[in-house]
Structure 1
Amino acid sequence: MQLTATQASTGVDPEVGGADEVTRLRAQMERIQGRRLDAPVIPVHAALASLLPGGGLRPGAAYSVPRSTSLLLALLAQPSQSGSWCGVVGMPRLGAEAAERLGVDLSRLVLIPDPGARWLAVTATVAEVLPVVAVRPSGRTVDSEIARLAARLRDRGAVLLVQGRWPQVEATLEISGSAWSGVARGHGYLAGREVSLSSSSRRWPRARRARVMLPDAVGGVARVESFPALAAVPDAGRERPERDPLAVKAAV
């Protein structure tokens, strides 16, 4: 067998050494981040999977999402159906009926409408026992408290969905525009809403985008490609806070 100059001088096969180096670096990153990079993710609806690194919610990670009740419920639907308990903190107007119609298993949903001034401590406590926790911040945060919560998420393998900006997130989801269909010249029935979504992550070189019906004609979620072209009613181009994603009055 003929040795290369590198092998002759170091006694190490560069291919084997390269593989060992990758393994070492991976282990180091996992120790720093507190979770396995190849750990299974919690599944989400197929229409939203392409917007998340790994195609789902990574245990131990936090995500920044817009103040959209319908999008939040869509993200909680598949985890709850797959057996994961979900908690929602600080959203008193979230409706159980709307959650159920968007696919959330109510038997695995815990609501804490008003956590008070200690909302961050309440969120951390809930993350101790529930694998998926969503929160709408109601006050200012301190860096040290955020760091402690992040450590708890990694330790427990919980997922945090934050409505609003949040540091050190796995991905940031945003709504760039939406349009209702079904209303023509001021009358008719709302048939669905097409939403343009974008997602940015430190794991991707550029943002990813997708269009979904949220809700679709039957109140669920679907990729917009599966629908024929619809005459749309613009919805001001930006997502607004919703009381109920299935209630006409709250959305138009």
Structure 2
Amino acid sequence: MAGRMVVGSTALAELVRPASGSDPTGAHQLLPVLPELAGLLPNRGLRRGSTVAVGLGHPARSGSTSLMLALLAEASRAGSWCAVVGVPTLGAAAAADLGIELGRLALVPHPGPEWATVVAALIDGVDVVVAAVPGTVSASVVGRLAARARQRGSVLVPYGRWAGADVTLQVIRGAWEGLGQGRGRLRRREVTISARGRGAAARPKEIRVWLPGDGSSRTGRVSSAGVVPPSGGPAVAAPPGVGRTGSRRAALTVVGTSD
């Protein structure tokens, strides 16, 4: 199934009811993320009730969609429902390739003028709600949606410019690999992801990763000379899902980290 396409208030209500019943106690306060992204988050996961924004990067959207999907992948595989609002170009194949369970993915490609109402309704019953930010959103709407996420125990993931997020992840640099002298094919992209926020996330962090991963699992700190491998450290394990079926490739491969 290529995700649930949600159109109209009736379909939205039908989605929210079963999703909200999946974890009625809210016992699991931390939703998992891929190990490669864990170091960017203050709790090494998606804390229920938090707001984790994904910026559009420079140039706009360069690697940002892949980052947004990668952020959902581990929670989706662990059984959480996810919803994506306002991204009509989102491809189910890309989502599945990055590890998202399509049977627990709701898509609202065109929320219309009642964008805030749609997002609020999904927050009531879906574990992780990605919401593409439609231009300028008023401070009152920002505050109201963040408060609703805290109350309901959902994770709100604004996709675009968003003031006041607990953490903002953003692709700040990227370069494709695979093209030779006028021929070849684009195979993967090395991107630098930054994390900035408030409280426990106030200290800026950066990592360099391959999107998609190549399974080689290289890691190290970033210096002026490039990537310095950890001395005697263990190899980084491949992301969950790699090796289980023999066909899924790694969603991310860490190249370097920097605090």
Give the TM-score, by structure 2 length. Answer: 0.68
Residue 207 (str. 1) matches residue 204 (str. 2): yes
> Partner of 1:144 in structure 2?
140
> Partner of 1:237 in structure 2?
none
Structure 1 unmatched runs, 5+: 1-38, 226-252
Deviation at 1:66, TM superposition (A): 2.1
Deviation at 1:143, TM superposition (A): 2.3
Distance in 1, matches of 2:110 and 2:187, equals 33
How many residues are matched? 187
Helix, strand or coil for the counterpart of 2:212? Answer: coil
> Partner of 2:82 in structure 1?
86
Structure 2 unmatched runs, 5+: 1-27, 57-63, 215-248
- Could you list the per-position Cα deviations for residues 178-202 of structure 1 after superposition, in whole angstroms to 9, with x for gaps in the alignment? 1111211121122211111110122
The structure having more radius of gyration, on CA atoms, is 1
Mapping for residues 1-252 of structure 1, pairs under 5 Å: 40-67=29-56, 68-202=64-198, 203-217=200-214, 218=249, 220-224=251-255
Distance in 1, matches of 2:197 and 2:77, equals 26
Structure 1 stretch displaced more, 92-101 or 209-218: 209-218
Q: 1:43 to 1:141 in 2, by over 3 A?
A: same
8 Å CA contact 1:194, 1:212 repeated in 2: yes
Structure 1 stretch displaced more, 73-82 or 136-145: 136-145
Helix, strand or coil for the counterpart of 2:37? Answer: helix
8 Å CA contact 1:117, 1:138 repeated in 2: no
Helix, strand or coil for the counterpart of 2:129? Answer: strand
Please tell me the root mean square deviation across aligned C-alpha atoms, in Å. Answer: 1.6
Deviation at 1:56, TM superposition (A): 0.9
Deviation at 1:219, TM superposition (A): 6.5
One-letter amino acid of the structure 1 residue matched with residue 49 of structure 2: G
One-letter amino acid of the structure 1 residue matched with residue 123 of structure 2: A
8 Å CA contact 2:132, 2:159 repeated in 1: yes
8 Å CA contact 1:191, 1:216 repeated in 2: no
Structure 1 stretch displaced more, 210-219 or 166-175: 210-219
8 Å CA contact 2:41, 2:201 repeated in 1: no
> Partner of 2:222 in structure 1?
none
Give the TM-score, by structure 1 length. Answer: 0.70
Distance in 2, matches of 1:189 and 1:47, equals 26
